Structures are given as structure tokens and as C-alpha cells.
Amino acid sequence: MTNQTAELDLALREDEPPALTDTSTPLEVTKHERWERSNRLSLMFMKSHVSKGIRGSIPECKKATKFMRAVEEQFVSSDKALSSTLMKKLSSKTFDRSRSVREHIMEMRDMAAQLKSLEIDISDSFLVHFILNSLPTEYSPFKISYNTHKDKWSVNELLTMCIQEEERLKQEKPQSVHFVVTHDKGKRFSQQKGTGKQ
């Protein structure tokens, strides 16, 4: 590593030296020039590597440290917006039967994990209630059973119970079988079986 490369982050590690005056020593002049060069190179390097998506929203900065703080603030505000979006999605999520109940719960658990990475911790019992509230009306007896149960379930236990309940509901659904009956004269008509009508 060359001496010049080692000094690239000098402006990030050290405070800006005092402004030069007529009485500045050669050593102070050299130190100031090194710091200014490091500041310029650091700024150029950072600006060239910042995503175009946020580049326009960062105010013009002449100091590398201020530019870094401005970028950090952009990510903090992005995190807040993402947290808000995830909270809204999690609290309004409903099971629409387009996928299995397992996939539905896994998606909600993934949202909670994303929120945790953004420093918003959702407890297991709180997530269990979010999931239960997202289930449709045919799960009502199941929800009542949980609410009257003494023990609290973990998300994994709830997942297992919901999969079992989904299977039970599938088996209870009346199966509609369509078949064709042929009369003596070759006329055909359809009948529905298993619809509950006698």
C-alpha cells in the first residue's frame, strides 16, 4: 500500500486542520494540503459509489464527513419509511386462501424478522395474535379454542396447529361429485352428489 493510498481516509479520521495564515509553518502547510487532498479524494470516491436513487436527495457537501452524515440520514429516513410500511402490511394482512396457511404464516414471520432488523422487536405472543387475527371466519372455532386455552403458543406451535386445522377444514368440506346417468332411451342428464341435498 502506497503512502498516498494510506492517506485517502485522512479527512475521515482527523479533524480539519486550522485555516492557513501568513504565519503558518511549512509543516502546518503540508498537513493542511494533505488533509485537503484526502477530503477531495474521499468525496469523489463516495459520490461515485452512492446509489443514483439517493444521490439527488443529498445536499451539496464540501466536507467528506458531512457527506457521510447526509448519506446516513437518508438511510435512517428510509428505514423509518420501511418500518412504517411493514407495520401497516403486517397489521392488515389477511389469509386469502390463494396460498397455504403455512406460506401465509411464514410471510408474516418474515415481516416480523425484517422489523426486528430495523430495531422494532415484535414479541412472539404479539405475532401470534397478529396471525390469528389474519385468519378468516372458518377459523373462528380455532381462535376461540386458543383464547380459552391456558397456555400461550409460540409461532412454531401456532404454525403446526394451523396446518392441522387447514387439513381438517379441507376434509369437512362437502365433496361435489358430478356424474352422468343414461336412461333407457339414451337420454342423458346430470346429477349432483354430495351437495347435502337428498
Burial 121-133, CB ≥16 within 10 A → b, else e = ebeeeebbebbbe
Percent composition of the chain: helix, strand, coil (DSSP 3-state, to 5): 60, 5, 30
> Strand runs (DSSP E) across the chain, as ranges?
177-182, 188-193
What is the Cα–Cα distance from 40 to 9, expressed in whole angstroms?
10
Q: How far is CA 21 from CA 42, 105, 173, in A?
A: 25, 67, 89
The letter for the amino acid at 174 is P
Mean pLDDT by 10 residues, the chain (198 residues): 60 87 90 91 84 73 87 74 86 89 94 87 89 92 84 90 91 59 49 46
Count CB atoms within 10 A of the CB of residue 9: 14
**Do the beta carbons of residue 136 and residue 109 sit within 8 Å?**
no
**Do the beta carbons of residue 140 and residue 132 sit within 8 Å?**
no
* DSSP one-letter code for 75: H
191 three-state secondary structure: strand
Q: What confidence score (pLDDT) does residue 152 get?
A: 84
Q: Spell out the residues 6+ positions from residue 176 whose beta carbon is closer than 8 angstroms to its own.
A: 192, 193, 194, 195
Q: What confidence score (pLDDT) does residue 174 get?
A: 63
Q: What confidence score (pLDDT) does residue 117 get?
A: 84
Q: What confidence score (pLDDT) does residue 68 get?
A: 84
Q: What confidence score (pLDDT) does residue 59 get?
A: 82
The letter for the amino acid at 193 is K
**Do the beta carbons of residue 93 and residue 108 sit within 8 Å?**
yes
pTM of the model: 0.52
